[in-house]
Structure 1
Amino acid sequence: MSPKKATEAPLTRYRQTFSGKGSFGEYLDVSRRFGKDKEWGVRINTELLNGNTAINSNDMEAQGIFANIDHRDKKSNTNLLVGYRHLNIEGGARWFSLKAAAIGKEITKVPSAPEASKNYGFDGLAKESEGYIIALNHEQKMNADWKWFLNAGMNSNKLQRNIIGASSNFVIINDKGDVSNNLMSTQTVTKNYYAQLGINGNIKTGAVNHDVTLALDKAWHSIEGAKNMYNNGSMGSVSGNIYSGLQGNNVWYPSIETGLSSKDQYWGISLADTVKYKKAQLLLGVHKHNASVDSYNKITGRVTQTVGSDALCPTYGFVYQPDEHTSLYASHSENFDKGTIVASKYANAGEVLNPAKTKQNEIGFKYANAGFLTSLGIFNIKQANNIDVYKGSDMYLQQDGEQEYQGIELSVNGKLADKWNFMGGLMYLDATQNKTQNGTNDGKTVNGAAKWNAVAVLEYNPDEKFSIVGRAMYTGKADIYNEQLQTPSYMTYDLGVNYKTAFNKTPVTLTAMCYNLTDKNYWTAYGNNLILSSPRTLMLSATFDI
């Protein structure tokens, strides 16, 4: 994350927004530099959001404040970021799944998406969380070529309320769109700590320049989960139909206590060398890590499973620029998952899945000329295949072979003509499952992965004050439940205008933006889950530079 640092010129920017059916937002961005040489900087950002979104009877509240303090001189740079955010959402749930046992029987197709403005909440259905972050970065020059650095930080997030259908969604049980499943109420507390110490320097060997970095790092992570999570009907159920609405049955809201669910530690050492020679640049890097993951019984506090791992992960890349317009590149990277801890929504919550590597390869080129930048990349990614497995009405997270993503991505952006700008992208993705148990799902599409995605943005600037922007986005069909069903493709459009003016000599930017212009109803596949689209949403804003 790159924090917003104080700008050279003083900045006081106030922004008001209105969106949906009655959601009002206020945002303040204040930036100042102090000292003889403006060596000290302070930047504060605040957020206050409250009201009804474009979804019927869906209320959202958010409050946040972030402060960034930095100091710089000839030999050092220091940055401290602190922040807090609180979020409360009442109703408006959009996550659904299909009853696995009913597929091919009561469910023969993905039901048509209902009206996106429908609210599937009921009294008490809510999600509330709060969290804070602290991050410190420091660089200290030792001489003209070498410096040492320190990066450290922590963040904490508490999910105070989370009342939703069991497995975190509502279950559709037939082609008519009927819904029936139990409710779940839980809390989680997540804490992360990180520290890194290293040195960086430049070494010249003749015409070759080396940029070398050596670093030691360590991270800690812990999760507290609900001791008495209710998800077996003991706090009620939900029923109804996606087209006519849902209702809660015999709903009551228990008091939740949390207990330690998991702890993990990670420590490693990395060495990287960026080699530059004339028109070529080579990156050589390696990271050695050790990790330990402990899963706990939340009630007794005892360790139930411990998984240790270590790995050597290389990274290398090559860039060649034959001329000022063209860049050719190739890269390989590896990173290691120390072992996924199964979340509370699964029947095997707390289990630690096997550690696994993710490997990524990419080759491509970039060409810039006449105000246009064109990029073409071909990639291959392999990672663990962590999938949802249904046993009766219970859902388990299990590791089954690997997922392989192969694709090609093209992007173009630049100036079409005087006053006209264009940005577009097209991606083809072939995502398959390999090495699955007994070869059952070998060659089948990764659940929720669409083969085609595209975006096109056109901007018109008739003068310096006025601009009009239009955007079209396409998402192709996606297979779910191991190719038993398929979500339809969809296209959405956004349209917006910006106008720069002044009120009593105060510069003001007025913006009107309409998302999902045609009010398209559609499903987005996420694994085997179905996420209902957001309805047409109008957002108005006024930004004042005081």
Structure 2
Amino acid sequence: MNRQVIRAARLRAPMPRHLAVLAQLAVVVGFPATAALAQQAAAPADAQSLPAVTVSASAVDDSGLQLEKKASTGALGSRTQLDTPYSTTIVTGEDLAERQVAKLGDVFAMDASVSDNGNGYNSWSSYLSVRGLQIDWQNGFKINGLPFVAYGITLPYEHMEQVELLKGLPGFMYGFATPGGIVNYVTKKPTDTFSASFELGYRAANVWSEHVDLGGRAGPNNMFGYRLNVTHEEGTPYNARNIKRDSASLGLDARLTRDLTWTFDSIYQDRRATGQMPSFSLWSYGDTALPAAVSGRIRNFAGADQHLNTNLQLYSTGLRYQINPDWAVSTNYSFTKVNRSRNESTYNLLNQAGDYSDQRYDTAQNQQVGQWQAMLEGKFRTGPFGHQLVAGLSWQKQIDRYDNNGFGAVIGAGNIFEPNTNTYFSSTAFNKVRNSDITQKSVFASDTVQLSERWSVLAGLRVTNFEQNGYVPVSSSYSKNGVVTPTLALMFKPVPTATVYASYVEALEPGSIVPDGYTNARQLLSPIRSKQYEVGVKADQAAWSATAAAFRIERGAEYDSINGGVPTRQQDGTSIYQGLELAGVYRLGPQWEFGASAMYLDSYYDKGLANNGKRVAGAPDLVLAGRISYRVPFVPGLRLGVDGKYTGNTKLNAGNTLEAGGYTVFNLGASYNTRVAGKDLTLRAALNNVTNKRYWGFQYENYIQPADPRSVSLTAKIAY
């Protein structure tokens, strides 16, 4: 069933039913009517136009490479993946729901270029590697293209229309950021017709969730649009003692005139976890091989004295004016604020027997980011050449506040194969002081010149005035005006549904703030410049789609050196990442779909005082991923799936003295779509890590994490 047929089959509830449906939802969820309303504004127009009754038919559309979908690419404007001369990935909200995604590492599980370094319940939740480079939690994450600080934040994935990944260097597109890439969360948008759904979920070990989604339009000529999503989640996960999450997102728009549109988007989330999985560090490790892998369940590791509490708020508003069919101007402003308090252990592993010293950190932080941007987009011709122009101005300021009276000390010892009996309960009211701030002011422009029917060239330039100030523990600053980050690309379309490209881009990233526990903790390091070269091909056909890219990234090296069990973060030489990515989806008839991706990566340190020729820490040499989906013909609406991912061995430190071995994880999934009492009902189930594989995974340089254990997730969704 194609997308047009699916959209034509949408359920259109008559307007008089609105209040009745809202009342039903409020009763089912157990929220007051106002809370139910506060829940349904973040679902996307496309996600709503694919109702549950058609999930089995749209599974092909929503689990493939999505090359026809538009992705936000910052200063390049919005363009389809097929027409973007860089590697990108889009994961739809429907695919997130099918796979029961609950943490960032699972979002891109089917992309071999992406490695999971995080845990959804502790401070490492936003750690993710792309092509062996970890994405910057300060600058590498966006919501609707707007910045927020992602450290410790697990977003409400059920509120997302899609999640986008721009791989490599985002310097021209978004300004200063590390070269791993940019993750952009796109919240659900107002729908053209009224929609409402309620979803009940269960996740091992004992977590229950309720999610309400409302969308539609109202007013004269349907002038006003709304989308409201509300989620409540509470219970006992397998790797924490308790989780309690309340989140709401609201999307509004107003078609003020035929050509002028106003938008407003917001997210609020309060998330509290207790007894969460600790970190496992290798700072003081004395052996040459790791201990036997432990279970990722929490039973031996943390008690109710530990917690991670986060609060996220994002508010954005914008105007877009369509001057004529070829030209548009837009402006937007956003403000985000993240509060975080954490009482978490780091187990400093000592030997292969699993002994450790228990280092406890009890701290609090706050980050806020304000951003304003204005952009002009248009098309014009000069003689035989067509032009697609994007130009704009942007301003962004990030302020970091850390406590100056937090607790950090060894509270005891233990062994990872025995229950931990050490406790430390928070007893301090934190005094947060301004630690650092970063201000960026930039002007950018790009022009995609259509040289002929098949050939085009893209040239872009961003010029940034950058200022970074540190205040604690010592005053430091770095500023530079006129920082140029260019991009160039040549594109060739042998047929309209395929693009061959070669691209070059540069980036400058802010100096990192050294974490607590280091000899130079909270020091601001110098900014790092990177370069990326990439050649690739993208093709989108009726029965298959495929991408391939060869890349080389040159980045200033930053790593930890350890003396006497205490690390120091330093910059020295260059890190090289070069490799090949492949991905494809093939549809065999109406029942079968096959997907696969692979990445070969050659990484090494170069031109430094130490570690030259050694592999870069955290960069696996080979990753393979595959997925099979089958729609059962004799049970209409039933779809079965299996996927797996192999991650090759990974060096754990710059000296290459320790290594995490390769591992493979398999997952199973099923969904069933039917109608009950005239309503669309979707049942989903997922079994993750089917074989309960145990392994040590890379988390950060000199940090490892146990595998997520086997777990089950179940949801039931009814759509009106």
After TM superposition, give the deviation of residue 345 of structure 1 in Å: 4.3
Letter in 2 for 1:129: T
Residue 146 of structure 1 corresponds to 327
Q: Is the 8 A contact 1:94 1:532 kept in 2?
A: no
Shift of 1:413: 0.3
Alignment partner, residue 675 of structure 2? 502
Q: Distance in 2 between matches of 1:503 and 1:49?
A: 26
- CA distance, structure 2, for counterparts of residue 361 and residue 250 of structure 1: 49
Equivalent in 368, 384, 388 of residue 211 of structure 1: 388
**CA shift for structure 1 position 314:** 0.6
Deviation (angstroms), 1:366: 2.4
Alignment partner of 1:452 is 2:622: yes
Deviations 1:211-242 (A, max 9, x none): 11221111000111011121134xxx142111
**2:440 maps to which of 255, 259, 266:** 266
- Counterpart position of 2:252: 69
Q: What percentage of residue pairs aligned between the two structures are identical?
A: 23
What is the Cα deviation at residue 406 of structure 1?
A: 0.5
**One-letter amino acid matched to 1:477:** N
Q: Report the equivalent of 1:225.
A: 402
Shift of 1:130: 0.5
Structure 2 residue 308 is matched with structure 1 residue 127 = yes
Asked if residue 108 in structure 1 is aligned to residue 288 in structure 2, the reply is yes
Cα offset, 1:532, TM superposition: 1.1
Q: Deviations over 1:33-87 (max 9, x none)?
A: 12333232100011110001123x6211111001000123421232110121011
**Counterpart Cα distance in 1 of 2:612 and 2:497:** 43
User: Does residue 377 of structure 2 align to residue 200 of structure 1?
Assistant: yes
Deviates more, 1:57-66 or 1:338-347: 338-347
Mapped contact 1:238–1:246 kept (Cα < 8 A): no
Code of the residue aligned with 1:281 in structure 2: it is S
Does residue 248 in structure 1 map to residue 422 in structure 2? yes
1:449 to partner: Cα distance? 1.2
**What residue number does 2:241 align with?**
58
Residue aligning to 1:297 = 472
Runs of 5+ consecutive residues of structure 1 not aligned to the other structure: none
Instruction: Find the residue that maps to 1:367 and give its secondary structure.
Output: strand
Structure 1 range deviating more: 264-273 or 200-209: 200-209
Give 1:389's match in structure 2, choosing from 517, 542, 561. 561
Asked if structure 1 preserves the Cα contact closer than 8 Å seen for 2:362 and 2:426, the reply is no
Contact 1:432/1:443 (CA < 8 Å) preserved in 2? yes
Aligned partner of 1:486 in structure 2 is 659
Q: Tell me how large the CA RMSD over aligned residues is.
A: 1.8
Q: Is the 8 A contact 1:307 1:339 kept in 2?
A: no
The structure with the larger Rg is 1
Q: Deviations over 1:385-406 (max 9, x none)?
A: 2212223232222222222110
Contact preservation (8 Å) 1:448, 1:528: no
- Cα shift at 1:544: 0.8
TM (norm. structure 1) is 0.93
User: Which residue identity does 1:410 align to in structure 2?
Assistant: L
Partner of 1:377: 549
Name the amino acid aligned to 1:421. E
Q: 2:282 maps to what in 1?
A: 98
For the Cα contact (< 8 Å) 2:283–2:566, is it kept in 1?
A: no
Structure 2 residue 361 is the aligned partner of structure 1 residue 184: yes
Looking at structure 1, the residues matched to 319 and 188 of structure 2 have their Cα atoms a distance apart, in angstroms, of 16
Q: Matched residue of 2:421: which SS?
A: strand
Structure 2: distance between partners of 1:384 and 1:135:
34
State which of 528, 531, 538 in structure 2 corresponds to 1:359. Answer: 531
8 Å contact kept, 2:502–2:535: yes
Partner residue, 1:429 = 601
Aligned to 1:540: 714
Change (3 A) 1:35 1:99: same
Q: Is the 8 A contact 1:292 1:338 kept in 2?
A: no
Picking from 4, 12, 16, the partner of 2:200 is 16
Structure 1 residues 251 and 473 mapped into 2: Cα distance closer, same or farther (>3 Å)? same
CA deviation after TM superposition for structure 1 residue 490, in Å: 0.6
Q: TM-score, normalised by structure 2?
A: 0.71
Per-residue deviation, 1:144: 4.1
Distance 2:412 2:523 in 1: 28
Q: CA offset at residue 370 of structure 1?
A: 5.2
- How far apart in 1 are the matches of 2:424 and 2:311? 29
Q: Is 1:280–2:455 an aligned residue pair?
A: yes
Distance 2:646 2:381 in 1: 49
Displacement over 6 Å in runs of 4+: none
| CA separation of 1:442 and 1:543: change in aligned 2, threshold 3 A | same
Task: Give the alignment partner of residue 27 of structure 1, picking from 189, 192, 211.
Answer: 211
> Match of 2:631?
461
What SS does the aligned partner of 1:69 have?
strand
Contact 2:374 2:394 in 1 (8 A): yes
Asked whether the 8 Å contact 1:382–1:404 carries over to 2, the reply is yes
Distance, in Å, in 1 between the alignment partners of 2:544 and 2:426 is 59
Match 1:348 to one of 494, 506, 520: 520
Task: Compare the two structures and name the one with the higher strand fraction.
Answer: 1
Q: Hey, what's the Cα distance between the residues in 1 that align with 2:280 and 2:537?
A: 40
Q: Give the equivalent residue in structure 1 for 2:222.
A: 38
Describe the SS at the equivalent of 1:33. strand
Q: How does 1:306-345 map to 2 (within 5 A)?
A: 306-310=477-481, 311-345=483-517
Quote the Cα distance in structure 2 between the aligned partners of 1:338 and 1:250. Answer: 35
Alpha-carbon separation, structure 2, partners of 1:541 and 1:398:
47
Distance in 2 separating the partners of 1:423 and 1:76 = 41
**CA distance in 1: counterparts of 2:267 and 2:288, whole angstroms:** 48
In the alignment, the residues of structure 1 paired with residue 244 and residue 354 of structure 2 have an alpha-carbon distance, to the nearest angstrom, of 31
CA contact (8 A) 1:385 1:433 kept: yes
**d(CA) in 1 for partners of 2:564, 2:586:** 54
- Post-superposition offset of 1:539: 0.4
Aligned length: 528
Q: Structure 1: how far apart are the matches of 2:616 and 2:421?
A: 33
Query: What do the CA deviations read for 1:86-131 (whole angstroms, capped 9, x no partner)?
Result: 111111314211234x43xxx1201121122243112311111111
SS of the residue aligned with 1:248?
A: coil
1:304-355 Cα offsets, whole Å, 9 max, x none, are: 1111124111111122111245421111112211322223343322311111
Counterpart AA for 1:531: Q
1:402 aligns with 2:595: no
Deviation at 1:360, TM superposition (A): 1.7
Whether the aligned pair in 1 keeps the contact of 2:333 and 2:373 (CA below 8 Å) is yes
Q: Structure 1 residues 435, 36: CA separation in 2 closer, same or farther (over 3 Å shift)?
A: same
Specify the code of the residue in structure 2 equivalent to 1:23.
V
Question: Per-residue deviation at 1:201?
Answer: 2.0
* Correspondent of 1:157 among 335, 338, 347: 338
Residue ranges of structure 2 left out of the alignment (5+ in a row): 1-143, 145-185
Code of the residue aligned with 1:538 in structure 2: it is: V
Alpha-carbon distance in structure 2 between the residues aligned to 1:50 and 1:225: 29
Change (3 A) 1:81 1:345: farther
